[in-house]
Amino acid sequence: MSIRNMILLGPPGAGKGTQAVHLVEEFGLLHLSTGDMLRGAVEAHTNLGLQAKCFMDAGDLVPDELVIGIIRDRLGGADVRDLGVLLDGFPRTLVQAEALAGVISQLRLGELIVINIAVPDELLIRRLSGRRMCDTCSEIFHIDRDGVDVGDPCPTCTTGKIYQRSDDQVEAIAERLRNYHAKTAPLIKYYSERDMLISIDGSGTPDEVHRRVMAHLELGA
């Protein structure tokens, strides 16, 4: 199956970032994560970053017009047309989904498949509260599985330091889950009605989930 463009949909902690790493390798797609783009803007103290930071720290969604603006600009790049794109964390509202449909059609970017990774809330809370990241190579870890914690050197790139995302605190996680159920979960119906949705059980190990995704894409794993 040749894949042009893909959306990874799912609640916070579903494993979108974890699965994206394998899928972009497998299909040669460009990985665009709105979360990573926004965190980069916060880090660089850009105007966008300054506007986004308070929403992100509180676990709220950044306003649609800001996120749609950065995605619209990025999708216009020649690399997106050449490689195809994997969107991780976008769209997250019906307004964003409609805007994306318009941009894809206007830029003639081709077909879009939506993979929804479903995981129960209790498991999401465990995954998010134990997530740790490398500040240099951005590798994603979990304290239970990988035995790393804040301040440790990154076992992958060895130069980076392990940190915890500011929105992985208990209150922010609860708010992110509330926002997911109210604003993002309706996209499952939206894409299902348009016959674009593949739903995957996101419990089990990252490898098991990856194999399920590949099996659904009829490629085998």
Binding residues for ligand AP5, rule: CB under 6 A, are 10, 12-18, 33-35, 38, 55-56, 59-62, 67, 89-92, 96, 127-128, 130-131, 140-142, 167, 176, 204-206, 209
Closest-approach residue to ligand AP5 (CB): 35
Which residue in the list 39, 53, 92, 127 is annotated as catalytic? 92
Helices (H) and strands (E) in the chain, counts: 11, 8
**How far is C-alpha 27 from the chain's CA centre?**
17
Q: Could you tell me the smallest distance in angstroms from the CB atom of residue 129 to ligand AP5?
A: 9
Clarify whether 72 is annotated catalytic. Answer: no
Distance CA 151, CA 51 (A): 28
* Single-letter amino acid, residue 144: D
Give 78 or 141: the residue with its C-beta nearer to ligand AP5: 141
183 is catalytic: no
Tell me whether residue 67 or residue 75 sits nearer to ligand AP5 (CB atom): 67
131 is catalytic: yes
Considering beta carbons, is residue 74 or 176 the nearer one to ligand AP5? 176
Question: How many CA within 13 A on the CB side of residue 35?
Answer: 22
- Which whole-number Å values give the CA distances from 178 to 17, 86, 175, 202, in the listed order? 20, 25, 5, 19
* Under 8 Å between Cβ of 141 and 131: yes
Catalytic: which of 39, 74, 127, 176?
Answer: 176
In the annotation, is 92 catalytic?
yes
**Minimal distance, residue 147 CB to ligand AP5, in Å:** 12
Nearest-approach distance from CB 74 to ligand AP5, in angstroms: 12
Of 53, 74, 127, 131, catalytic: 131
> CA–CA separation, 201 vs 54, rounded Å?
32
User: Would you state the structure tokens that stand for residue 215, as one six-digit string?
Assistant: 């099996």
Our CB check for ligand AP5 shows the closer of 164 and 192 to be 164
Question: How many angstroms from the chain centroid is the CA of residue 3?
Answer: 18
Q: What is the smallest separation between the CB atom of 2 and ligand AP5, expressed in angstroms?
A: 25
Element (H, E) at 199: strand 197-201
Closer to ligand AP5 at the Cβ: 34 or 116?
A: 34
Neighbouring CB atoms inside 10 A of 171's CB total 10
Catalytic residue among 4, 165, 183, 211: 165
Residues designated catalytic: 16, 92, 131, 165, 176
